[in-house]
Structure 1
Amino acid sequence: MVPPASARPRDALDVLCAFFKLGLTSFGGPVAHLGYFRREFVERRQWLDEKTYIDLVALCQFLPGPASSQVGFSIGLMRAGWIGGLAAWCGFTLPSVLLLIGFAVIAPDLNGPLGQGLIHGLKLVAVAVVAQAVWDMARRFCPDRRQAGIALIAVAILSMLATVYAQLLVIALGALLGVVLCRDQHVPADQPASDARPSIAVSRAAGWAALAAFLLLLFGLPAMSNLLAARAVDMFDAFYRSGALVFGGGHVVLPLLQQETVTTGWIRPGEFLAGYGAAQAMPGPLFTFAAFLGWSMADPPHQWAGAALATAGIFLPGLLLVIAALPYWQTLRTRPGSAAMLAGVNAAVVGLLARALYSPVWTSAVISRVDIFIAIAAFFMLVRWRMPPLAVVALCALAGIAEGALR
Structure 2
Amino acid sequence: MLTIFKTFFALGWISFGGPAAHIGYFRNTFVEKLKWLTEEEYAQIVALSQFLPGPGSSQVGFAIGYKHAGVSGALAAFLGFTLPSIIIMLVLAALSASLTTEPLFLSAVHGLKLLAVVVVADAIWGMFSKFCQTTLPVGLCLFTAIALLVLPGIATQALVLIAAAMTGSLFLQKSGGDSHDNLPFRPHWLPLLIFALLLTGLPLLTSHGSLAGIFSDFFQAGSLVFGGGHVVLPLLQNIVGDQLPQDAFLTGYAAAQAIPGPMFTFATYIGYIMSPEFPVLGALFATAGVFLPGFLLLLGILRHWQRLASIPKVDGALNGVNAAVVGLLIAALYQPIFLSAVNVPLDFALVLSGLFLQKQLKLPLVWMVTLSILAGLLLF
TM-score range, shorter chain: 0.5 to 0.7
Which amino acid is 1:183 matched to?
A: Q
Number of the residue aligned with 1:159:
149
CA contact (8 A) 1:30 1:67 kept: no
Superposition deviation, residue 330 in structure 1: 5.9
Select 2:298's aligned residue among 294, 306, 321.
321
2: distance between equivalents of 1:330 and 1:373?
A: 42
Q: For 1:134-145, list aligned pairs within 5 A.
A: 134-145=124-135
Inter-CA distance 181–217: structure 2 relative to 1 (3 Å threshold): farther
Tell me how far apart the structure 1 counterparts of residues 375 and 141 of structure 2 sit (CA, whole Å). 33
1:121 aligns with 2:93: no
Aligned with residue 347 of structure 1, among 323, 333, 342: 323
Contact preservation (8 Å) 2:111, 2:372:
yes
Instruction: Provide the residue aligned with 1:32 in structure 2.
Output: 29
Which moves more between the two structures, 259-268 or 142-151?
259-268
For residues 220 and 353 of structure 1, do their structure 2 counterparts lie closer, same or farther at Cα, with a shift above 3 Å needed?
Answer: farther
Structure-to-structure mapping, 1:128-277, within 5 angstroms: 128-184=118-174, 207-211=188-192, 216=196, 235-240=218-223, 256-261=228-233, 271-275=255-259
Cα pair 1:262 1:272 within 8 Å, conserved: no
Q: Distance in 1 between matches of 2:193 and 2:163?
A: 24
> Which AA in structure 1 matches 2:323?
A
Matched letter for residue 266 of structure 2: L
- 2:266 matches 1:293: yes
Q: Check conservation: 2:9, 2:80, Cα contact below 8 A.
A: yes
TM-score of the aligned structures, taking structure 2 as reference length: 0.68
- Is the Cα–Cα contact under 8 Å of residues 294 and 308 in structure 1 kept in the other structure? no
- Which residue in the other structure is 1:251 paired with? none
User: 2:21: which partner in 1?
Assistant: none
CA, structure 1 residues 347+336, in 2 after alignment: closer, same or farther (shift >3 Å)?
A: same
- The aligned amino acid for 1:73 is Y
Worse overlay, 367-376 or 289-298: 289-298
Cα distance change on mapping 1:111 and 1:350 into 2, 3 Å: same
What is the identity, as a one-letter code, of the residue corresponding to 1:174? A
Q: In 1, Cα distance between the equivalents of 2:330 and 2:43?
A: 25
Shift of 1:296: 4.3
Match 2:360 to one of 376, 384, 403: 384
Q: Secondary structure in 2 aligned to 1:165?
A: helix
In 1, the alpha carbon distance for the partners of 2:297 and 2:186 equals 13
Deviation at 1:118, TM superposition (A): 0.9
Deviations 1:311-334 (A, max 9, x none): 6644653554344443x4564232
Distance 1:144 1:73 in 2: 32
Q: 1:45-88, CA deviations, whole angstroms, 9 ceiling, x for partnerless residues?
A: xxxxx9xx9999898577436445324335544xxxxxxx2x43
**What's 1:94 paired with?**
79
Distance of aligned partners of 1:264 and 1:170 in 2 relative to their CA distance in 1, 3 Å threshold? farther
Supply the distance in 2 between the matched residues of 1:38 and 1:365 (Cα, whole angstroms): 30
Q: CA deviation at 1:377?
A: 1.6
Shift of 1:306: 4.8
Gap runs ≥5 in structure 1: 1-14, 40-49, 78-84, 188-203, 246-254, 280-288
> Secondary structure, in 3 states, of the residue corresponding to 2:338?
helix
Hey, what's the Cα distance between the residues in 1 that align with 2:322 and 2:43? 15
TM-score, normalised on structure 1? 0.64
Q: Quickly say closer, same or farther: Cα 1:336–1:260, change in 2 above 3 A.
A: same
Instruction: Give, as a single letter, the amino acid of the residue that structure 1 aligns with 2:65.
Output: G
- The answer to whether the 8 Å contact 1:366/1:372 transfers is yes
Q: What percentage of residue pairs aligned between the two structures are identical?
A: 24
Cα distance between partner residues in 1 of 2:41 and 2:144: 30
Q: Which secondary structure state, in structure 1, belongs to the residue aligned with residue 154 of structure 2?
A: coil
Residue pair 2:65, 2:76 contacting (<8 A) in 1 also: no
Paired residue for 2:346? 370
The whole-number CA distance in structure 2 between the counterparts of 1:377 and 1:151 is 27
Structure 2 unmatched ranges of 5 or more: 13-24, 50-55, 178-184, 238-248
Give, in angstroms, the shift of residue 345 of structure 1: 0.9
SS in 2 for 1:346: helix
Q: Which piece of structure 1 moves more, 112-121 or 19-28? A: 19-28
| Aligned pair partner of 2:65 in 72, 90, 100 | 72
For the 8 Å contact 1:291–1:311, the answer to whether it is kept is no
For residues 263-314 of structure 1, the C-alpha deviation after alignment (integer angstroms, 9 at most, x for no partner) is 9876578645422xx34xxxxxxxxx24543334597489764565446644
Residues in 2 aligned to 1:149 and 1:178: alpha-carbon distance in whole angstroms: 12
Is the 2:188–2:301 Cα contact (8 Å) retained in structure 1? yes
